[in-house]
């Protein structure tokens, strides 16, 4: 069984091919980088319009398969930016209709978890998902993926990017900030916002923008990372304890950060738990994870008509009936 998956929730257009028997066969992507400032949804969508057809072709070539071998077309149905989602959905509908293939809309957050289960050794992990737009701790319980904690305002990556842009770093700024933070030594005063199982980042951003006026930027970057990552580690640990999961899977672009990985790993070691991190391109937004999840759904009997493929910008993780577990 083989699926082709189309991702387009935010600034990355991605197309991947996933085989049940052979895993990821290809995973092509192209990201919209704004000339300056933040991401404009319509401009990102225009990028996807140009990028998707060549990406489909490249992904099929790299996978080395013919269209006869494809069983299902999957796409990211949400959550995400409306114009981007609609572009990916339109591409998926065109493909499915022209090739007479079934189509399946996939929840993007769940796809981060399923690709991790497919390519790492984890079986039933709590997922710490930290990307630009999303920050959630998710775990499977009673037939659904449940959100145990999440950001109450902006995503973790979004906060880092906003701070980085104020410093004049190039977008996305996470990697450069990580390098700066590794040179910082002094932990400054910064709001630590954990509310129950949820976190908040905008107060931290405001504080950081004030702190750089008086302190070395390396120390501020160091402080942001130490504070925000400690918050994420705390809520992840609490979710693991709550649902009794001895495994953590990391997902989303931010988890490529080595300091975050180190902190979560230390927490896991103390609990006798395991931490799993998929390879970089499978952590970030990508088409292979959409293909992988679409295939699981299809095999479990999920079917969608074209009318069911309307995108959902605020598609919740716990809205999906998990028929494949
Ligand atoms: P989503 O649509 O799921 O919100 P996204 O469009 O933000 O995803 P991702 O590739 O998952 O895409 O994540 C990108 C984010 O990851 C950016 O905010 C970027 O700054 C951040 N990031 C990338 N590398 C690092 C790093 N080493 N440390 C911290 N953050 C990083
Ligand atoms: Fe994502």
Contact 59, 48 (CB under 8 A): no
Among 107, 136, 172, 224, name the best residue to mutate to test ligand 1's pocket (greatest count of ligand atoms within 8 A of Cβ).
172
Which burial class, exposed, middle or buried, applies to 230 when counting CB atoms under 10 A from its CB (0-12, 13-18, 19+)?
middle
- Gap between the Cα atoms of 133 and 124, Å rounded: 24
Tokens of 9: 């929730």
Contact 285 CB / ligand 1 (< 6 Å): yes
Answer whether 253 contacts ligand 1 (Cβ < 6 A): yes
* Cβ-contact 32, 44 below 8 angstroms: yes
Each of the 325 residues of the chain gets a pLDDT tens digit; together they read: 999 999 999 999 999 999 999 999 999 999 999 887 777 999 999 999 999 999 999 999 999 999 999 999 999 999 999 999 999 999 999 999 999 999 999 999 999 999 999 999 999 999 999 999 999 999 999 999 999 999 999 999 999 999 999 999 988 999 999 999 999 999 999 999 999 999 999 999 999 999 999 999 999 999 999 999 999 999 999 999 998 989 999 999 999 999 999 999 999 999 999 999 999 899 999 999 999 999 999 999 999 999 999 999 999 999 999 999 9
Q: Whose CA is nearest to atom 19 of ligand 1?
A: 174
- Indicate if ligand 1 lies below 6 Å from the C-beta of 79: no
Domain 2-113+282-319 and domain 124-279, same fold? Reply is yes
Is 12 close to ligand 1, i.e. is its CB under 6 Å away? Answer: yes
CA of 173 to the centre of ligand 1 (A): 9
Say which ligand is closest to the CA of 41.
1
- The answer to whether 127 touches 111, Cβ cutoff 8 Å, is no
Q: Is the shortest distance between the CB of 259 and ligand 1 below 6 Å?
A: no
CB of 80 closer than 6 angstroms to any ligand 1 atom? yes
Give me the pLDDT at residue 37, please: 72
Please tell me if the CB atom of residue 137 comes closer than 6 angstroms to any atom of ligand 1: no
Q: Is the CB of 11 under 6 A from ligand 1?
A: yes
Probe residue for ligand 1, chosen from 12, 131, 155 as the CB with the greatest number of ligand atoms within 8 Å: 131
Q: Name the residues around ion ligand 2, CB cutoff 5 A.
A: 131, 285
Cα 252 to middle of ligand 1, angstroms: 6
Atom of ligand 1 nearest to the CA of 225: 29
Total-model pTM: 0.95
The three-point CA angle 159-279-54 to 5° equals 85
CATH entry 3.30.420.40 includes domain 124-279: yes
Distance CA 228, CA 302 (A): 38
- Based on its alpha-carbon atoms, the radius of gyration of the chain, rounded to whole angstroms, reads 19
Locate the domains of the chain by residue range: 2-113+282-319, 124-279
| Closest C-alpha to ligand 1, atom 2 | 10
Cβ 252 under 6 angstroms from ligand 1: yes
Q: Are 252 and 157 in contact (CB under 8 A)?
A: yes
Under 8 Å between Cβ of 236 and 194:
no
Q: Are 247 and 213 in contact (CB under 8 A)?
A: no
Beta-bridge partner residues of 150: 136
2-113+282-319: CATH number: 3.30.420.40
Ligand 2 center–CA 310 separation, angstroms: 19
User: CA angle 10-114-25, nearest 5°?
Assistant: 80
> In terms of C-beta density within 10 A (0-12 exposed, 13-18 middle, 19 or more buried), how is residue 312 classed?
middle
């Amino acid at each position: 069984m083989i699926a082709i998956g189309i991702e387009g929730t935010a600034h990355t257009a991605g197309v991947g091919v996933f085989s049940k028997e052979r895993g990821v066969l290809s995973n092509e992507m192209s990201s919209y980088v704004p000339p300056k400032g933040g991401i404009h949804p319509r401009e990102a969508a225009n990028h996807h319009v140009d990028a998707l057809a060549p990406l489909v072709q490249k992904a099929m070539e790299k996978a080395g398969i013919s269209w006869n071998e494809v069983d299902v077309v999957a796409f990211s149905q949400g959550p995400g930016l409306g114009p981007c989602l609609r572009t990916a959905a339109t591409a998926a509908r065109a493909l499915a209709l022209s090739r007479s293939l079934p189509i399946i809309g996939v929840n993007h957050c769940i796809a981060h978890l399923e690709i991790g289960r497919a390519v790492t050794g984890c079986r039933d992990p709590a997922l710490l998902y930290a990307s630009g737009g999303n920050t959630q701790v998710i775990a499977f319980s009673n037939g659904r993926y449940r959100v145990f904690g999440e950001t109450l305002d902006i995503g973790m990556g979004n906060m880092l990017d906003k701070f980085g842009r104020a410093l004049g770093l190039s977008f996305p700024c996470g990697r450069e900030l990580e390098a700066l933070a590794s040179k910082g030594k002094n932990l400054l005063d910064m709001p630590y916002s954990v509310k129950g199982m949820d976190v908040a980042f905008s107060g931290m951003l405001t504080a950081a923008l004030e702190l750089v006026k008086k302190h070395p930027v390396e120390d501020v970057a160091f402080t942001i990372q130490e504070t925000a990552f400690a918050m994420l580690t705390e809520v992840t640990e609490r979710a693991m304890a709550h649902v009794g999961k001895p495994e953590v899977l990391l997902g989303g672009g931010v988890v490529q950060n080595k300091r975050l990985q180190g902190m979560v790993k230390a927490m896991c070691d103390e609990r006798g738990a395991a931490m799993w991190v998929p390879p970089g391109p499978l952590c970030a937004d990508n088409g292979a994870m959409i293909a992988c999840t679409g295939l699981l759904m299809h095999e479990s009997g999920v079917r969608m008509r074209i009318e069911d493929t309307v995108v959902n910008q605020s598609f919740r993780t716990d809205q999906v009936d998990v028929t494949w577990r």
